Amino acid sequence: MKNKRIENKISKWYGSSIAVREWCAKHYHKFITDPKSLRFELDDPKGFAEMSKYCYDQNYGEYKKNNEG
């Protein structure tokens, strides 16, 4: 399910393309697998952590739906 508030924030800050959402999701994945690898805090700018987690969850959910059972 899409969160309209977060979707609007992502579109306002970065644009509405799918590539932007994949980029955010990659940052979140990198953070959860190796937090020391990022050169900045995940929540910089404020709200980026929430957006990246949302994008990661959306992309991972689509992957699971398409590739499992």
The pLDDT tens digits along the chain (69 residues) read: 688 999 999 999 889 888 888 888 888 888 888 888 777 777 778 888 889 899 998 876 555 555 554
pTM of the predicted protein model: 0.72
The count of structural domains within the chain is 1
DSSP 8-state assignment for residue 44: -
Alpha carbons 34 and 58: distance in angstroms, whole number:
21
Domain that holds residue 51: 4-67
Which amino acid is present at 8? N
CB 30 within 8 Å of CB 55: no
